[in-house]
Structure 1
Amino acid sequence: MSGKCFALPMNRRAVLGAGCAALLPFPVHAAPPELAFNELYARIGVLGMEFSQKVLDLSGQRVRITGFMAPPLKAEADFFVLGKAPMAICPFCSSDADWPDDILVVYLRRRQTFAHLADMIVVEGVLEHGSWTDPETGFVSLLRLRDADYRRI
């Protein structure tokens, strides 16, 4: 080299931001997109339910949705039903033709005991859409979150 030094322009904000980022134990990721129950379907009518464009666009991605846990079939399980309002009974139906427009099934990362049935919770998981029958339980769903976690609000 010719002995010349090259200085990068730095300001106080850049130095502080770089220093703070170096202290974090993991990379900072943006929060997953929010999904609301009123955004699940585009139309509900005589011909059935059609998924909204937002559901189609977010399918396969990690999303966040807020709601209430329906009473599970067992005290400890790896799935539950999430609804927009508190429920007194589990809303699983006999077929996807009877599927309510304000619920989705949540498959958790790990089996756990449920204790927050009356509390509002926020759930994050990978969104899936389309009719699917769980081979273990026989339950049919139109919308699911997989690899999910939840927390009480």
Structure 2
Amino acid sequence: MRRRQFLTLAPALIAAPVVLRAQDDTLKLRELYEGRDFSPLARDLEGTTIDVDGYMAPPLQADSSFFVLTKIPMSVCPFCETEAEWPDDIVAIYTRRKFDTVPFNRKIVVTGALALGSYRDPDTGFLSMVRLENARLRFG
């Protein structure tokens, strides 16, 4: 291989592992919790942009920029709990803009900034312990 060929291919060779790694970095909801607490991984990733896969629960209200991601498809509301009863298999998702509802049984991947700790949405009253903020979604 000549130097010019190497220099042309070098950026692609360097980027390839990053692209492959990014596909493997999608987290499962269970990885964010350890019992009733946040996992060490979740604490380490707080404030960073992560990918999480799951299913869109039926939104609390139409024409919203908020929904809940669940680990299994749910055709009915899985939340509206108190902080003490917060399930360890859902994540509140706050998108940058309003979104189209996805069928409850279609797997999606959500990318957003991980936020931990109790937060009550002022518009819906929904209480979340784990959120992805400024999120985008795609089909997984």
Aligned to 2:15: none
Question: Match for 2:41: what amino acid?
Answer: K
SS in 1 for 2:98: strand
Query: 1:31 and 2:22 equivalent?
Result: yes
Aligned-partner Cα distance in 1 for 2:26–2:38: 16
Q: What are the within-5 Å matches in structure 2 for residues 128-143 of structure 1? A: 128-143=115-130
Aligned to 2:67: 80
Cα deviation, residue 40, structure 1: 1.5
User: In angstroms, what is the RMSD of aligned CA positions?
Assistant: 2.4
Q: Counting helix residues as a fraction of each chain, which structure ranks higher?
A: 2
Aligned-partner Cα distance in 2 for 1:132–1:143: 9
One of 21, 38, 46 as aligned partner of 1:59: 46
Q: Deviations over 1:97-129 (max 9, x none)?
A: 111110010000101221332200011000001
Query: 1:96 and 2:86 equivalent?
Result: no
Aligned-partner Cα distance in 1 for 2:110–2:81: 25
Normalised by the length of structure 1, the TM-score is 0.77
Cα deviation, residue 139, structure 1: 1.0
Cα deviation, residue 11, structure 1: 4.8
Contact 1:75 1:113 (8 Å CA) reproduced: no
Q: Percent identity of the aligned residues?
A: 42
Aligned to 2:32: 40
Normalised by the length of structure 2, the TM-score is 0.83
Structure 1 residues without counterparts, runs of 5 or longer: 1-8, 21-27, 44-48
Q: Counting strand residues as a fraction of each chain, which structure ranks higher?
A: 1
Aligned-partner Cα distance in 1 for 2:139–2:92: 17
Aligned-partner Cα distance in 1 for 2:102–2:62: 9
Contact 2:60 2:124 (8 Å CA) reproduced: no
Query: 1:10 and 2:3 equivalent?
Result: yes
Question: Match for 1:16: what amino acid?
Answer: L
SS in 2 for 1:76: coil
Aligned-partner Cα distance in 2 for 1:79–1:111: 8
Larger radius of gyration: 1
SS in 1 for 2:37: strand
